[in-house]
Structure 1
Amino acid sequence: MNKFLKSALLSSAIAGSALLSTMASAADYVVDYDGAHASVNFKIQHLGYSWLTGRFDKFSGKFSYDAANVAASKIEMTVDTTSINSNHVERDKHLRSDDYLDVSKFGSARFVSSKVVDKGDGKLDVIGALTLHGVTKTITINAEKIGEGKDPWGGYRVGFSGTTKIGLADFGIDANLGPASTHVELAIHIEGVRQ
């Protein structure tokens, strides 16, 4: 076998090994909703005098993550909008009504990423389509990797948190709560279990 052919075969083997190594490090995760190691929270100003806070009690999600190629990461989350919980029963009924979320028509919200930008030092921008109240808009979630590693039950986990701000009117929610209350701030905390 001549030197050129040996060199070509060796280069192919190294490239193939590198590709397999990259593929091996990519992994799929399911958001640990069942173990209550994730949350979808919101806050909005009330008349400009205080913050009203709450959460969505039911949601699901999955993502793929590769620490060696963060830009290839993807995430999908679905939130059950009927599960809104602001710690006030009558207010929650109003938030579910057609004045706000109109959950009889739009019982879920969904986010699907289209791009992940690795900003270094565990920071990332997660860009994607949020569908809420029957309207789909592109949003950016400012995210941060919290950590990753083995868990006590023989599994492997990775966790992130992220924040974004959305305009009510952008999603067809026309309730007038005053000039200080036009936007909702969302905070998402997820811990994924590797599959």
Structure 2
Amino acid sequence: MKKLLLAAAVGAALSGGLSQAQAADYVIDMEGQHAFIQFKISHLGYSWLLGEFTDFEGTFSYDEANPGAATVNVTIDTASIDSNHAERDKHLRGDDFLAVDDYPEARFVSTSYTESSDGKGVLAGDLTLHGVTKPIEIAVNEVGAGPDPWGGFRRGFEGKVTLTLADFGIDYDLGPAAKTVDMYLSIEGIRQ
């Protein structure tokens, strides 16, 4: 789940029609808590379980003149999963789900970016989660870009992706409605 969220967050950071005239590198702003990797999964088909990964880091590069050259790299601390319930989080960190002792990190590395229109695009890349690496595609949308009050320059994106848990070796039975997890990424990067 974390990796999905992370993947979604990274994809969001890379995408979209930006206003900068040359390639620039950005660091995802975790220090200021301006980035989120969140998830939503069905609980037995009766309700929704929401949560997030609170500890991740990453970078992205974007060139307005050549959007297809955009790159994203994100690493998530899988033990940072937080569903607002300590016992459930302990279970999610265990062998039935994320197995954080064996797989302490999830990682997304982009392989391509295809810009469509109006700041939208598709970020493709490899997501490694639970020891399994699979290609995924994140639908991204540019939120905005411009100067910040501290003399810097920032870019923000959002992204969405749905992951099938069994694709990553996570097959704990929570019912047929819980075979996939929706990831939502909101990423703000600080230009370096």
TM-score computed with the length of structure 1 as normaliser: 0.87
2-structure distance, mates of 1:24, 1:183:
39
Q: Hey, what does 1:136 align to over in structure 2?
A: 133
Once residues 188 and 119 of structure 1 are traced to their aligned partners in structure 2, the CA distance between those partners, rounded to angstroms, is 19
Equivalent position of 1:35 in the other structure: 32
Matched, 1:182 2:170: no
2:6 paired residue number: none
More moved, 23-32 vs 66-75: 23-32
- Identity %, equivalent residues: 56
Q: Does 1:75 align with 2:72?
A: yes
Amino acid at match of 1:57: T
Local SS of the residue matching 1:162: strand
Unmatched tracts of structure 2, length 5 or more: 1-19
Superposition deviation, residue 68 in structure 1: 2.1
1:174 positional shift: 1.2
Q: 1:38-53 counterparts in 2 under 5 A?
A: 38-53=35-50
Tell me if 1:100 matches 2:103.
Answer: no
Report the TM-score when normalising by structure 2. 0.88
Counterpart check, 1:149 vs 2:146: yes
Structure 2 distance, partners of 1:100, 1:74, is 29
Q: Aligned ranges for residues 53-64 of structure 1 at < 5 Å? A: 53-64=50-61
Quick one: distance in 2 between partners of 1:134 and 1:119? 32
- Matched residues in 2 for 1:44 and 1:68: separation? 38
Q: Residue 6 of structure 1 aligns with which residue? A: none
- For the Cα contact (< 8 Å) 2:21–2:63, is it kept in 1? no
**Corresponding residue SS for 2:175:** coil
Structure 1, gaps ≥5 residues long = 1-22
| Number of matched pairs | 173
Residue type at the aligned position of 1:143: V
Question: Is the Cα–Cα contact under 8 Å of residues 21 and 65 in structure 2 kept in the other structure?
Answer: no
Q: In structure 2, give the amino acid aligned to 1:144.
A: N
Query: Does 1:173 find its partner at 2:170?
Result: yes
Name the residue aligned to 2:13. Answer: none
Give the structure with higher Rg (CA): 1
Moved over 2 A (4+): none
